[in-house]
Amino acid sequence: MSATEQQPTPAAPPAEALPAPSVEATDAANTTATTATTATPDVPDAPEAPAAPAATEATVTTDAKEPAVESTPIAQLWALAKATGHPEIWGVTLADPEAHVPTRIILQKYLNANDADLAKAKDQLTKTLEWRAKTKPLELVTKAFSKAKFDGMGYVTKYLQEGSTEPESKEVFTWNIYGGVKSIDDTFGNLEEFLEWRVALMELALQQLDISSATKPITADDDPYKMFQVHDYKSISFLRQSPHVKSASAETIKVFAQNYPELLKEKFFVNVPAIMGFVYTFMKLFVAAKTIKKFHPMSNGGNLAVEFGESKVSALGEKLPANYGGKGSELGEQGKGPVLE
């Protein structure tokens, strides 16, 4: 008989005082007791710690685990971005969002675009990073496009509230002047070239939006880092007949919906002929319903200036060109477009 068997067992604490021993703790206690029985001679007078309290004490130590720290959605998107490998989105070199506000803004936009559905945000972010790695949009900003094909078709303008540096006091516009098309086949016939030109225009607008200098995070309801878009369809009713235009419209909508989420403040389709309905058909297929609500068709582009009364840039409408109801200079003078040669 071992020393353990000869010692009286002290009274056990009440059952509710201590948690039931875990499997791991019980196994550890049994192993300790077995080792002690094997290694200790059978000497009745040798004092020895009772086995039961040892097992109980082991249980208390083993079950005291640190609570799991749950990763935030932003942290998970950041981990995904790092794993993907492409280091940039919209001209911002991605970094730890805990310390880098521009990165946090971009990742938050992907959450906002998907109504906080993390799985969908991850999928869209992955596709954007893969697309940017393949397409290299920043290189397109410096690429020279055909003047014969794209001259007068696209501009970016920026308007500031004098004396303010707040992001809310800046308005950025992209202008797509499809009335400037000289040849449908030349401009839209090469789909890849047209998309590159259109992406270059968007990246120029993002430079003016200047997310890389942001110092204040955004939320789902407060995001000043968005832009206006104007599509002018004056004198282009004939485009309805072109399969090239339909292909270019459909592909542009898909590319932009996928890779430029939550950047649109409002979109105005001006001088729109009724027969341009096919454009809206494509949009409804690929663009979120909440984004469609930001689209405003206008038959008369001269009324555009009155739409911006709520802007924090005072008298914004007056800064627009005269053919849009403002008092500003022509787009070719106040705006900037992709490089042409």
DSSP 301-320: GGGGGGGGTT-SSTTTGGGS
Across the range 263-292, mean pLDDT stands at 73
Q: Exposed/middle/buried for 217, CB within 10 Å: 0-12, 13-18, 19+? A: middle
Across the range 98-117, mean pLDDT stands at 98
| pLDDT score, position 182 | 86
The closest of 204, 208, 227, 190 to 143, measured between CA atoms, is: 204
Across the range 140-169, mean pLDDT stands at 96
User: What average pLDDT is seen over the chain?
Assistant: 82
Instruction: Name the pairing type of β-strands 154-160 and 88-89.
Output: unpaired
Across the range 219-248, mean pLDDT stands at 86
Q: Is residue 59 scored above 80 in pLDDT? A: no
Cα 136 from chain centroid (whole Å): 18
| pLDDT score, position 283 | 63
Token pair, residue 53, equals 């309290």
> CA–CA separation, 127 vs 124, rounded Å?
5
pTM of the model: 0.76
- 317 conformational bin, left if phi > 0, alpha if psi -120 to 50, beta if neither: alpha
Comparing 41-45, 166-170, 182-186, 235-239, which segment has the lowest mean pLDDT? 41-45
Report phi then psi at 257, rounded to 5: -65, -35
When pLDDT is cut at 50, 70 and 90, the band that residue 79 belongs to is very high
> CA–CA separation, 32 vs 19, rounded Å?
20
Token pair, residue 33, equals 């007791």
| pLDDT score, position 130 | 98
- DSSP state letter for 263: -
3-state secondary structure 234-257: CCCHHHHHCHHHHHHHHHHHHHHH
The closest of 108, 77, 74, 107 to 89, measured between CA atoms, is: 107
Q: Which residue has the tokens 């993907």?
A: 84
When pLDDT is cut at 50, 70 and 90, the band that residue 246 belongs to is confident
Q: Is residue 85 scored above 80 in pLDDT? A: yes
Confirm if 200 and 141 have CB atoms less than 8 A apart. Answer: yes
Interval 181-192: pLDDT, tens: 888 889 999 999
